[in-house]
Amino acid sequence: MNWLSHIGKQASRLASLELFRYIGPGFFVTVGFIDPGNWVTNVAAGSQFGYSLLWVVTLSTIMLIVLQHNAAHLGIVTGLCLSEAASTYFRPWLRHLMLGSAMLACISTALAELLGAAIGLKMLTGLPLPAGALLSCCFAGYMLFSKNYRRLEKWIMGFVSLIGLAFLFEITLAQVSWGASMKGWVVPNVPLGALPVIVGVLGAVVMPHNIFLHSEVIQSRQVQEQGDSAIRKQLKFEFLDTLAGMGAGWAINSAMIIMAAAVFHSRGIRVNELPQVTETLVPIFGSLSATVFAMGLIFAGLASSVTAAMAGGSVFAGIYREPFDIADIHSRIGVILTIVGGFCAILILRDPFKGILWSQIALSLQLPFTIFPMIWLTSSTAVMGAYANRRYGTIVLLITGLIVVGLNISLLVDLAR
């Protein structure tokens, strides 16, 4: 009996070790939705509306898991990233619309990432925003031109851990109403004037560039060349990886709103810019709290600027039906367009906080141009063969897409009034 127990424990240990071989892509993508854009929208949500918009993070994360798993599904089965698949299977007008808007979304994302890191550096050192953004550009370029996927994955997972620890520290200092938090997570509530923030939070969590990036990172492993058994195993472990990564992102995004609600909303403070956060934290909790917040923002900006630039390289390379490869000219052009485009946009911004917030709304407006073409690809037997989405899977994906469209329409109507 002891012998059988020992065998069982060994098998369990080996299964756990095998899981770690597949962990990475989900956490690599996670950093994209705990980026400075999320910091801005979440701090705005918490400081203006307290705990009442936590449900948006819950809904967005569920939608994110569905969409990211579907994007990874495409990459595992076909060996193509989403951009390559669009160029292979779509007519020119559709792929130009989809991939052109996706490139703009990557640039919009890079704006938020680079600016967030620059704001964090300014909080910590007083460095001017353009100089901080330029340093962030250099960091992203260095990391990507190092040509090492695995090293990038380890760096990103490290950054995610540090960001999570930063907000865990902040929450331990605040007097949190956990009852209000529990209610906020599960009870939908749309306070007056909250719609732009709700759509901003949605765009900051469910991000177009992350959908492209997940399919790119997972397809780089070329599992489809190893046969059906390898595909099935990768699909199983990929879903666990996605759940773990997205779950960590949900916790960190929730922590941002909770911290803002407990510290700012409870005191009637409406946050209009990120430096205001540290200025407010110092007299309440001391300089260490403000330093930890700024460091977390820097980590978030640097890590997510890398993933945004990589996504831009993937989208641009896919236009030419090529996978991302930093040694290839098309991937390099995509990376440079993303980073330089984001940096140039920063130079002309008058209000950094509003610039980041509206960049996230722009991402939400682009999402339908990414989601519905992807659903068509992954539901097509011509593309996916026996691994095409089943009917219930397609229905869930379509409902997710329609929720995004509905929120976008509501926002446009609200802005037109």
User: b vs e for 49-85, b when ≥16 Cβ sit within 10 Å of the residue's Cβ?
Assistant: bbbbbbbbbbbbbebbbbbbbbbbbbbbbbbbbbbbb
Chain segment 236-274, per-residue pLDDT in tens: 777 888 888 888 889 888 988 998 899 888 888 888 777
Distance (Å, whole) CA 109 – CA 114: 9
Average of per-residue pLDDT across 342-354 = 85
pLDDT at 3: 39
Torsion of CA 153, 159, 162, 167, to 10 degrees: -120
pLDDT at 302: 87
Distance (Å, whole) CA 68 – CA 4: 39
Which comes out higher in pLDDT, residue 300 or 415?
A: 300
Q: How many domains would you assign to the chain?
A: 1
**Amino acid identity, position 263:** V
Length of the chain: 417
Distance (Å, whole) CA 330 – CA 343: 20
**Amino acid identity, position 128:** P
Distance (Å, whole) CA 341 – CA 335: 10
Position 223 pLDDT exceeds 70:
no
pLDDT at 8: 38
| Helix pair 287-319, 275-285: axis angle to 10 deg | 150
| Least-confidence region, from 224-233, 245-254, 330-339, 375-384 | 224-233
Q: Among 196, 188, 180, 160, which residue's Cα sits nearest to residue 24? A: 160
Most confident of 7-11, 27-31, 223-227: 27-31
4, part of any domain: no
79, part of any domain: yes
**Amino acid identity, position 261:** A
394, part of any domain: yes
Report percent pLDDT > 90 for the chain: 32
Domain, as residue range, for 33: 20-416
CATH number at residue 158: 1.10.4160.10
Residue listed under structure tokens 């330029």: 134
11, part of any domain: no
Chain segment 90-125, per-residue pLDDT in tens: 999 999 999 999 999 999 889 988 988 998 899 888
214, part of any domain: yes
10, part of any domain: no
Cα-only R_g, the chain: 21
Q: Among 136, 145, 131, which residue's Cα sits nearest to residue 111? A: 136
285, part of any domain: yes
Q: Is 390 left (phi over 0), alpha (psi -120 to 50) or beta?
A: beta
Distance (Å, whole) CA 356 – CA 25: 26
The alpha carbon of 130 is separated from its chain's Cα centroid by a whole number of angstroms, namely 24
Most confident of 135-139, 263-267, 293-297: 135-139
What does the DSSP 8-state code read for residue 389?
P
At residue 147 the predicted structure's pLDDT band, cuts being 50, 70 and 90, is: low
| Least-confidence region, from 15-24, 252-261, 319-328, 393-402 | 15-24
Report the mean per-residue pLDDT for the chain: 82
| H-state helical runs in 264-351 | 275-285, 287-319, 329-348
pTM here? 0.82
In contact, 148 and 327? CB cutoff 8 Å: no
3, part of any domain: no
Position 309 pLDDT exceeds 80:
yes
Distances (CA, A) of 172 to 34, 166, 279, 394: 19, 10, 19, 42
Q: Among 252, 257, 263, which residue's Cα sits nearest to residue 175? A: 263
pLDDT at 313: 94
Distance (Å, whole) CA 23 – CA 232: 16
In contact, 105 and 247? CB cutoff 8 Å: no
Q: CB neighbours of 375 closer than 8 A, spacing ≥ 6?
A: 70, 389, 394, 397, 398, 401
Q: Among 281, 275, 276, which residue's Cα sits nearest to residue 259? A: 281
